[in-house]
Structure formats: C-alpha cells, structure tokens
Structure 1
C-alpha cells in the first residue's frame, strides 16, 4: 500500500533531532546521502517541525500606521507585520461602513507581505541566504490565512503563490549548474547533464536536512520541492534541446531522461517531460541517426571507389571467396546502433534500425550506378583488367548476399524493411550476374557464330575459343558463393547449349557427300566436351545432357527413313521442339527433298499431337529464335 505524502514527510522528519527554537539550527547534521537513499529513512525518532502560533491576545487593539506595518515587512519583521495586519482587518470588519481607503491599504499591505514572504522562500534555495526562523513565520502565516479564508480583506492563493516561489527558486538554482559551449567542450551536454542530476540530488537532500524542520507537515514540502524540480528540469531540458544537433548529444539527452534522472524520482518522471516532447526528441534522434548512417554509407562507397580507381585486387576469405569489407562495415554499424539504443529504449532501437534499413534500400541503386560508371573502362583495357572487372562483380555479389544473410536477425522486429531489403539485394545480385552473363555472351558469340559451317567441319579453332572462355569463367565461379554460383553456372550452361544448338537452325550449311556422318561425330564430341566441363563446374541442368546425342544421332543416321525411330525420346524430353526446328536439323543433314524426309516430318507431327499440350518441366527450343 502506498504511503500518503503526509506520512512520507513524517518519515523524513524522523531522521532529524529536535529543532531548537532559540536559534533555528538542527542539533546534529546528517551525513550527505544520494537520492537513492530517500526511501530508506531512519524511523527511530519522531520529529515535529517548529511552528509559531498567533494568539488572539497578541493582536493589537489598535493597529499601528500603514507606514509602520510596511516598515515591519521591509525589515523582515513578519510576526509584527502580520499581527498588525490582522488588527487592521478586525478594524475593517467592525466598521459597518468600511472605508475604501482602508480596504485599499490592507490590500496593498497584504500584497507587500506576500511578496516579502515569497522572496524569503525564493532565497531559501540558496544555502547562503537561508533563514529558517523566517520560513517558520512564512509557513504559519500561510496556514493562518487559509483558516481565515472568506473573511473581509482576505487574499486568496497563498499556497499556490508559495509553490510558485519554490519553483522560481529551484529554477534559479538550476541556472547555476555549469554549462560549457560546444566549442569549449565536445561533451558539453553529457557533462552538463551529469552535473544537473547531481544538483537535483543535492538540492533535494538539502530540503530534507535543512528545510523540512521549518515547515509543518500540512504543506507537503518535500513533495512540492520534488514536483518543482521536475518542472524546472523539464523546462531546462526543452531549452537544451534547441541547441542539440549532433547524435551523441541526442543520445546523452535521452539517456538522462530515461535512465540517469535520479532513480528514486521515477514515480514523478511523467512530470519531467511530456510524452509528446519525448517522442519529438526520439523522432529527431532517429532522423539524426539516419543522416549519420547515410553519410557513413557514402564513406563506405568512397572507400570502394578508391579500390576501383587504383585497380586493387579484391580480398579473399579463408575459403577462397572474393569479398569486400563493405557488408561487414554496414552490419557492424547497424549492430552498434541497435546495441547502444537498446540500453536506452528498446522501441527506440527498433525505430533506428528500421530507418537504417530504409536508408540501406536507397543506397543500393546509388552504389550500383557508381560501380558501373567507375569500372566500365576496365572492359576497354587489357585482359587483366577484364578479369578484374569480372572479379569486382563477383565480389559484390558475394558481399551483398552476405549482408542480406546477416541482417536476417532484424526480421522479427523490422519484417517489412528486411523483406524489402531482401528484394533489393536479390535484384542487385541478379543484375550483377546478368551483367557478367552478358559479358560472357559478348565474348563467346562471335565464335559460336562460326559453328555448323564448312569451316567448322575442318577446324576446331572457334570451338576451342569457346572452351577457353568457359574455363576462364569456371575458375572465377569458384570464387562466387552459393546460391549465386549455382545460378550463374546454370545460366552459362543454358546459354552455351542453346547457342550451340541454335546454329543448327540457321541453315548456314548443309552436309554433302556423306559429310553428315563427320558432322554427327564432331557434334557429339564437342557436346560431350561441354558436358564434362559443365559437370565439373557444378551445373544442375542435367536434363540438357542427352540433347546433343539425340541431335547427332539424327544427323548421322545413314538411312533416312530410320530417323523416325529416333524422334520419340527427342519429343518426350524436349516437347517444345517445333516442326520448323526439326526441319532445320534435317536440312543440315541434307537439304534435298525426299519422301522419307516427308514421312519423318509426318511422324514427328503425329508424336507432337499425341503428346498434346502437356506442360513440361523444362523449356529449351522455345527460347531459340
């Protein structure tokens, strides 16, 4: 069960010895304690704060002059001033027709008395200006006036005015806390907030040890001072916020508000700063974090640009994969942000990570553009530069794929951002692979165009060039991480197989004088050599392997009518082959018209019809123009 404020103040009073009326001092001054000890007070002694009582017999029958009462007030003779004021009020009460001037004099004198009383309260925040005896008079007058509320000449709001005086005193006290400029000290805010917290602790400790004995329990003095400190600190923090522009200062401010503000005052923390204002600070902090993260990303990109300009070879991991530091730097930066912020506020940490992931998604297109612009010149240089260009692409395929994997830890807290990031990374790595594949195509295409010609039958020169380039990429693919490596190898395999077979469809050459048998042998040998190479590279497109043998058997068949017997496995495994494409293969074998060839075409048509429109797992001939 929570203790009432009055009970708390009584507990606080138990720490002190009896207040001496003669000099207003405490017999024994307690040792200084931190704010954390406020809730664990000694309870072995009951102490009652000193209080004067105004007796009716003390009120003069005839009040002294207004000028004399004013003099009493100005010279801090509060008792004499107040007793004569009461006499003046009684005189006003007894007079049936109160004079306006007398009522005006009373109001002016009461106003002067109130200002004097609360100047005393205001100054009590300064240890050098503390007068305990006067505080006793102040408290007694406040309670006395509350009893006389409603009488002629009475003023309202004494307790509220006293609270305002306390608040202004606290404000002035906090203004004395040292505050360096940013130019004087890079850690200006963190240092100031540390001193501010210490000042709050010391002020409230002094209230307990030096001020409570001057006030009666009815005024809830300690609770009032606590509340006023919250209000004053909150106002102070708002003024400080106007000067905050850097990330470390936002961090220091939030850490102070959420964690470092004196721990025993947590119950009043809602008074420290409004939730709306706290959210504004958090929003500004997230924005500042995002801007810093964006700047860091640009710095990372600049470091990579230096690598490209100086044509430095990419680094390799222990297991031989090409890699860059960029993904590690990004992951470490986000992890550091998240770790630091979770100590302040878990939700704030999630917000900052979310904003970083959003910014990262914007970073990829910028990086890709810069990468393309800075490395394209390598393709117009020598062979080593071309190889370096390929290595750079593999490097960033690996790095950004690793980044995607490492950021999976934020999927639960930032699912939407991580899913978008996954799509961005997949798109980037796809485009990098496509760029590599297109470059491979540009290297291989001229030699592929030399296939299935008269020259091709006589020499292996073009085919050897194709093999050489595939072997070059085979070595480079070993530097690429899965699953990108598997996808890329499959892409190369599919392209080479498609381009090789498509040469048969272009009707560039037709075998004469039994040259079809030589062509069939060559086609089978070359196809098997390609097959062996792609098996070593790890291609998973095993369904492509039989095609070369099917086609070479058709081309090399000595008796034309027997070709019909070879069509069923071809149509079963590659149902998308068209009549036109089969006709082109037959023309390569022999472009002359014959009834047997016509029968072969008819048999093929029947097989296709019987097969119907059954969907097949793979498509190949559809991609051949």
Structure 2
C-alpha cells in the first residue's frame, strides 16, 4: 500500500527525535542512538539472535531495520512500493512477531524456572516498555502488555496441569487429595513469584497482582473441568470447602484473596443442593428397607440402656440432618438452611410411606401366635416413642425453619395418633386372648418411666404433672375396664403415685406411704426415691424423713392386702 511523502516524513522525524534523546538503560531501558546499528544485520541473523535468547541484539537490529524501512518508504513517496520493499516490511513484521513469541515463552516458563530467566525477564520488560512508547509508529505491533499477561496465564495453567490427579477408581478421595495438592502448588508458585521474579520487573507492572489474577482465572477454569467429573456429594463438598475456606486461607499471610467467579460458586452450590436432596431421599428409603428386614426377621425392637422401647430410625434421621447442617454452616449459612428445610419437608412423605410399609409388613403378626402379637405391640410402642423423640429433636431448627418444623410436628402427631389408635383398636377387638397381660404390660411400661430419672418437676410443676398423670391413668383404667381386665389391684397405683407427686406439703407424703406399701409391698427404696426425684430433684430434710419412714414400714412388715408382684418386674 502506498504511503504519502508527508506521512513518511513525519514518521521518520519522530523516530529521529526519539533516537536523539539522551536516555538511560538502567530503569526505563530507553534506546540510545549509538546502540541502534546504522545497518541492521540479516533476517537470518536476527532470527538466530531470537532463537538463542539474545533479545537485546535482536531488538536493536529490529529497530535499525524499521528505521531503514522508513527511509525507503519515504523515498518511494506516493508511488507504488517495489516488491522488494514490501517483502522487507513482511520480514520485519515476521521477526517482530517471532520476538514477541519468544518473549512469551520466556515469561511462560519463568515461574517454573525463575533463576534461569531473571536476566531475560529484564530484557522482556524493557522491550515491552520500549514498544509501548513506540505505539503508533510504522511497523509497531499492538498488545505487548496483553501478550505478557497471556503468557503468565499460560504458565500458570501449565503449573496446574502438572498437579497429580488420581481417577475415582484409583482413589475414593481423588478430589480431596488433588485439591490439597492444587492449593499447595498455587502457594508455592506465588512464593516463587514473590521471592524470585519481582526484582526482574518495574513496579508498575504489578507482577504479583497479575499472577494472583491469573491463578484465579486458571483455578476457576480448572475447577470447571473437575466439576464435570464430580458425581458424589463428598466431592461437591470438597469443591465448596476448597473455594470458600482452603484456597483463600492458603494466601491469607500474603494479604491476598483469590475469589472464584460467583457464577461458578453458585453452580456448585446448586449441584450440591440437588445431590444432597437425592442422597437424603435415598437415605430415607434405606431406613425403610432396614426396618422391613426387622419386621420380616421378627427382630426384637431396640431398647435403651434404661429399658426404654424405641427405634434407631429417629436417631439415624437426626444424625443425618445434623451432619448436613453442621457441614454447610461452615460453607454457606443460607445453603445450610435450605438443605435443612428440604429435609424437614421430605420427612412428611417419608412418614406416610413408612406407615404404609409398616402396616403392610406387620399385619401378619396378628394372625400368628401370642409372641408375635406381643411383638406387634412392641413395634407400635417403639415407633410411637421414636417419632416422639424425632419431633423433640427437630425443635432445634425451629428458629430458622419454623414453618417446616410446625408442619412436621403436625404430621408426626397425626402419625402417632394413628399408631396409638391402631394399638387401642387391637386391644379392644382381641381383648379375650391377652387383656390381663396387656394391662399389666402397659401399666408396667407407664410406671417404669418414673423410675428413669430422666425428668424432674421444676417451680411447683409437680401439681400439674400429678394432674396429668392422674388423667392419663384414669383413661387407661377406663380402657382396661371396658376391655374386661381382671387386674383390679392395679387401678389404685396411679392414684397413689399421683398423690405423692402432687402433694404440696412434703411432711404429709409420709402418710401416703402406708396404702402404697400395703398394696404394693415389692416397691423398693430406690424406686420410691425415683418417684420423689420426679416430684422434685432437690435434697431436703423432709424427703430424707420420707425415705426413713418408708424403711421403717418395710422393716416392720406392714400388713399387706395381697401378694401380687409388680415393682420387682421393673428394672
């Protein structure tokens, strides 16, 4: 393309003026006119300089070539340039591109081999600064600083690619191990930059900040690739933990943070949430499968150390939700709340499905022998207790998930009511077979709860507790009277215990001991102490006197009305 004489003249004047300035080679690497050869060496020689890392010689000869070309362009004027001049211009552009590519390779390798490239990096920065001053001149090439940054980014990517990565088949902890190594590699790379590369660059290059930024980009892209391989919940969590905690903390001592792209972080959170949903559903399904085995194998229900019939079902569910909440609280509070809300909501259809499976797989026990019938009763009691415990344990989430907890309470209460009603209906329809045994069993289980010292009345609540106990005992009394139980001697027990628990004046409790010991002579000192503990767990002289009175009554062999055994069956 032809150049006007005026344009070529102006360019030449600018180049001549630049060469005539007195310039320093130490900090700004300004080019002195005496350093630029009057006659450039050959294209092959300049290319050889570039290939052998003789950057200064290559660049000075390139400047000489560009100056010579400007004179030749000026001489051509507005006429068509000769082919030879066009080819020379092509050679100059090609050599300049080759030089920049060489510089990019040097920068790309600098963090891996900092000591080998320190002097070359000085020339690289000087050439970049010099070319930035010459922007707009004929033959100048744009984007030197950008090319330098791209080379840093490529070098960082090279570093990350070298980090060891096992397959899932080789190591179940493949991702956690890799992320640990990745964080270590980033820290070590930035340490090398800080200790060995900064001195090779002028301050305005912002070298460390540039490396930090490139690491952020490279790690972000690397995590996107890893994310495509992730399928398990623990690996999603490992990614979140790495981004939120481990990666920034690795650089905390440098007062820098590497923050991942918000979109990437949100994507991982979303994937984690959905995988968590699937895992929790699967866990609930597994619970039903395990309980089916219990029913099919006619396994005895689980008892606590104090003989309390329950099921491990609620414990498994509570542990699961607590682990989800605990883990995510460290990562993202809102994500943790969302997962807990989902779990609480998912328990509602689980209870429906559980009830259906339970009814279907245990109904055959009622058509078998008496032992199977008793087992059917124990199952109902254990699940009633279990779901009550579940409801109580979910109260800790009420502050953040009030609607879900309230709905769960309603669903559990309805489930417990149905299980209880089923139990009662069975007693009513099959009362002639084992009504006395059931009456005795229910009374024993009820009273045994007082023996466990799991609860004591506070602030005069003993009167309310006694009234509640009397009401429940009368309901049981009416039920078993209607069913035709002949264990009439059991009926007064609830009144005796309610009287002791609800008595305002401790002194008068001694008067209540006579009918209790008379009708139930097998009650022990330990068991009476448990009843008094339920009433009020504080020590008092009157309580001590009550125990002493009890001991005297037992020692003197108070006349008893019958020889029935009850308390000796309570552990």
Q: Does the pair score TM above 0.5?
A: yes
In 2, are the aligned partners of 1:305 and 1:374 still within 8 Å (CA)? Answer: yes
In 2, are the aligned partners of 1:233 and 1:272 still within 8 Å (CA)? Answer: no
Question: Where does 1:85-164 land on structure 2 (aligned, <5 Å)?
Answer: 85-94=62-71, 95-96=73-74, 97=77, 99-127=85-113, 130-164=116-150
* Structure 2 Cα separation of the partners of residues 129 and 485 of structure 1: 84
In 2, are the aligned partners of 1:391 and 1:476 still within 8 Å (CA)? Answer: no
The question of 1:418 aligning with 2:405 is answered yes
Q: Structure 1 stretch 282-291 or stretch 193-202: which is displaced more?
A: 282-291
Go from structure 1 to structure 2 and tell me whether the alpha carbon gap of 1:410 and 1:436 turns closer, same or farther (over 3 Å shift): same
CA drift at 1:50: 6.7
Go from structure 1 to structure 2 and tell me whether the alpha carbon gap of 1:417 and 1:534 turns closer, same or farther (over 3 Å shift): farther
* Structure 2 Cα separation of the partners of residues 372 and 485 of structure 1: 30
Query: What does residue 600 of structure 1 align with?
Result: none
CA drift at 1:268: 6.0
Query: What does residue 70 of structure 1 align with?
Result: 47
CA drift at 1:107: 1.9
Query: What does residue 556 of structure 2 align with?
Result: none
1:66-121 CA deviation, whole Å, 9 max, x = no partner?
33322322232211221122122223334323644343332222111111111111
* Structure 2 Cα separation of the partners of residues 197 and 291 of structure 1: 30
Gaps of 5+ in 1: 1-47, 448-463, 501-525, 541-625
RMSD: 3.6
In 1, are the aligned partners of 2:366 and 2:376 still within 8 Å (CA)? Answer: yes
1:356 to 323, 330, 343: 343
The question of 1:336 aligning with 2:323 is answered yes
Query: What does residue 301 of structure 2 align with?
Result: 314
* Structure 1 Cα separation of the partners of residues 469 and 105 of structure 2: 81
CA drift at 1:259: 0.8
CA drift at 1:347: 2.8
The question of 1:372 aligning with 2:353 is answered no
Go from structure 1 to structure 2 and tell me whether the alpha carbon gap of 1:113 and 1:470 turns closer, same or farther (over 3 Å shift): same
With normalisation by structure 1, the TM-score equals: 0.64
1:281 to 247, 250, 268: 268
Query: What does residue 186 of structure 1 align with?
Result: 172
SS in structure 1 opposite 2:56?
Answer: helix
1:283-304 CA deviation, whole Å, 9 max, x = no partner?
2222223333333333333333
Which structure: larger Rg? 1
Question: Where does 1:495-534 land on structure 2 (aligned, <5 Å)?
Answer: 533=491
In 2, are the aligned partners of 1:62 and 1:87 still within 8 Å (CA)? Answer: yes
Higher relative contact order (CA 8 A, sep 6+): 1
In 2, are the aligned partners of 1:410 and 1:418 still within 8 Å (CA)? Answer: yes
Go from structure 1 to structure 2 and tell me whether the alpha carbon gap of 1:257 and 1:465 turns closer, same or farther (over 3 Å shift): closer
* Structure 1 Cα separation of the partners of residues 292 and 337 of structure 2: 31
SS in structure 2 opposite 1:384?
Answer: helix
* Structure 2 Cα separation of the partners of residues 70 and 476 of structure 1: 97
1:241 to 227, 231, 234: 227
Go from structure 1 to structure 2 and tell me whether the alpha carbon gap of 1:214 and 1:532 turns closer, same or farther (over 3 Å shift): closer
* Structure 2 Cα separation of the partners of residues 487 and 345 of structure 1: 48
CA drift at 1:49: 9.0
* Structure 1 Cα separation of the partners of residues 58 and 471 of structure 2: 97
Go from structure 1 to structure 2 and tell me whether the alpha carbon gap of 1:404 and 1:487 turns closer, same or farther (over 3 Å shift): farther
Question: Where does 1:215-230 land on structure 2 (aligned, <5 Å)?
Answer: 215-230=201-216
Query: What does residue 217 of structure 2 align with?
Result: 231
Gaps of 5+ in 2: 1-24, 456-464, 499-571
The question of 1:431 aligning with 2:396 is answered no
Go from structure 1 to structure 2 and tell me whether the alpha carbon gap of 1:218 and 1:441 turns closer, same or farther (over 3 Å shift): same
Q: Which runs of 4+ in 1 moved over 6 A?
A: 48-51, 464-469, 479-497, 526-532
